[in-house]
Amino acid sequence: MAMDAAEIQSMIKEALPDAHVEIRDLAGDGDHYAAVVVSEAFRGKSRVQQHQMVFKALKGRMGGELHALALQTSAPE
């Protein structure tokens, strides 16, 4: 079963409450998304660490309910 954009956004915001999150359904199938996540929690972290934080927020659903998520992460400017 696919996840919807609102659920993905909610899970990320739960783990990173200050985050600005934009989710886009890339294929219209509820299975392939792109996300832009901007959070102060990312400051000083490598890109890999930032992505790990987002994947952790999704509580193991990557690769299952959520097939693909193209991530763009950063700290606020």
Report the candidate in 29, 27, 52 with the shortest Cα–Cα distance to residue 41.
52
- Architecture per CATH, 5-74: 2-Layer Sandwich (3.30)
Domain locations in the chain as residue ranges: 5-74
Give the model's pLDDT for residue 29.
Answer: 78
Q: What's the pLDDT tens digit per position in 27-36?
A: 887 788 999 9
Banded model confidence at residue 1, pLDDT cuts 50, 70, 90: low
With a cut of 80, say whether residue 47 has pLDDT above it. yes
DSSP secondary-structure letter at 69? E
The pTM assigned to this predicted structure is 0.89
What is the token pair recorded at 43? 């400051």
